[in-house]
Amino acid sequence: MTTSAAVASGGFRDAMSCDVCTELYEQSIRTPLVLPCGHTFCRPCLTDIKKKGSFHCPTCRAGHNNLQVVALTVNYSLLNILALCNQFEYDKCATHGDDLRYWCANCDQSLCCICLYSGHPQGHTVKLAQTFVTEKKQKLEERINAVFKNINEHKNELKKGFNDVDALVMQLFRKNIHFHNTEMAVKDLLDDIKKANGIASVLSYEKLVGEFQSKKNLADPGEEKAREKADPSVDTRDKVKNLPAKDKDALLVTTKDLKEAASESTEAANTAAGTDPNWRAMMDYCDGRLLLHTLANPTTTRMSMQMPHEVFLELGVGDKCLGRIYIRLWCHLCRAQQLLALCMGTMGPSLLKAKASDKMGNLIVFRSAVDRDNKSVSHALLTGLEWGGQHSKPETEGLVTGIVSNNLAFGICIQRQTGTSVNAAFGVVVAGHEVTKAAFQHNPVSEVTITSCGLVMPGFSQEG
């Protein structure tokens, strides 16, 4: 085919394909159905959209919530044209100009009628071009199916791997709690040994110390007895049940003991509840569940998790992706919590599909979010948003600031501007600032769209 014919054929094929899944329409499965707004999509795609609850046209966003997919009209005009789209396309012989209707398996090349009957070697295996294409497509589909099978096997391995990781994390936290409680019990035992003044108690302590020194006693009771919901310190209680009354109390690790131990780190609590962007919350394992404790409770020596404080915005213009911006939020501020909610969509509206609105000096500004019905939202999600006073900061590169005192608008500083300030700084770009600059330089800036957004996953570690 000529280049123009190929382009025309490609465009014709696109017109015969569903805009959602890009697959060609067909009579049996991907039947083209017409929405009341006039746009056509295949039955499986419309069924999937309907299942999600909000039934809107993928092209014009017209609402069809009360419409059933089974009641939609089939686009028979498209099906009739599709028959032409599926007709076999012959290339032209460069020598004779005829259709290349044959394929020689020995020569591995296409032939026209003149090529075949004027000098082509006898005894070669020659097939009709359509037969060759059909057989080749079948073999290619078999190879593709083998690739799919391989991919699915790897995906299943990954799924098992994720499940194993989840189980490993639970096991690690169970062990962590067990050894933490055992350590507290041993410390209490040491204190009581120093205070002991009787033969019976000293001999009892000697036996208990010997058992603590053995590896078996230090093993995680959850592994040996498979007691997911057991108190990790129960073995310690068993070891001291025959001690004198005052000595038993020294080894029992209770919730009260844990709270008293945690209360010793007042400064850590003040930091966590204040302005530290790297605040961490204690993680715990209890009743077969992972628990994330309040920031008011200091982490002490427990496993802890870094609290979410970094988000990302992926910017694009049309089909072009500009890249991602990573913003570290000052999460003690309401504006930072509001942007966190907008990035995740936890309060309804999100920044997904939101567009830049304008420029203000050195700021690229986003003034609205998008709700679940694809409507623009500009009102604040939280009250008490910071403005002015101690929240005013010099305008520096990458600074993220509120724009209006009572709504969700925010802007990102492109470069430092001497002598100017912003009124509600609540974060800073830590990576991808070149993406911000590219978006700022695009004209018009209103074409810049947030194509994806979300949270940078925090990590956890053992402190102390």
Mean pLDDT of 251-268: 34
Q: Across the chain, how many H-helices and E-strands are there?
A: 14, 22
Confidence of residue 12 (pLDDT cuts 50, 70, 90): low
Can you spell out the DSSP letters for 73-111?
Answer: EE-HHHHHHHHHHTS--PPBPTTT-SB--EEETTTTEEE
**CB-CB contact of 428 with 399 (8 Å):** yes
The residue-averaged pLDDT of 220-231 equals: 47
Rounded Cα gap, residues 298 and 264, in angstroms: 9
Question: 3-class DSSP state for residue 48?
Answer: helix
Q: Identical fold at 3-127 and 310-462?
A: no
Q: How far apart are CA 385 and CA 378, in angstroms?
A: 14
Q: Quick one: pLDDT at residue 431?
A: 94
* Phi and psi angles of residue 63, each rounded to the nearest 5 degrees, phi first: -85, 135
Q: Please, are residues 43 and 35 in contact by the beta-carbon 8 Å criterion?
A: no
137-186 pLDDT per residue, tens: 889 999 999 999 999 999 888 888 877 887 887 788 778 778 878 888 88
pLDDT at residue 432 is higher than 90: yes
Determine the angle formed by the axes of helices 129-195 and 199-213, rounding to 10 degrees.
Answer: 160
Question: What is the residue whose two structure tokens read 């700021």?
Answer: 363
Number of neighbours of residue 209 by Cβ within 10 angstroms: 13
d(Cα 123, Cα 311) in Å, to the nearest integer?
Answer: 69
Q: Return the minimum-mean-pLDDT range out of 173-177, 222-226, 266-270.
A: 266-270
Domain 310-462, CATH homologous superfamily name and number: Cyclophilin-like (2.40.100.10)
Task: Please state the domain extents for the chain.
Answer: 3-127, 259-306, 310-462
Taking the alpha carbons at both ends of the chain, their separation in whole angstroms is 72
- The sign of the CA dihedral 335, 339, 342, 347 is negative
Compute the distance between CA of residue 384 and CA of residue 389 in angstroms, rounded to an integer.
14
Question: Which tens digits make up the pLDDT trace of 179-209?
Answer: 878 888 888 889 888 888 888 888 888 888 8
Is the per-residue pLDDT at 427 higher than 90? yes
Residue with tokens 């003149």: 114
341-385 pLDDT, tens digit per residue, is 999 999 999 999 999 999 999 999 999 999 988 899 888 888 889
Radius of gyration of the chain (CA): 34
The CATH code of the domain at 3-127 is: 3.30.40.10
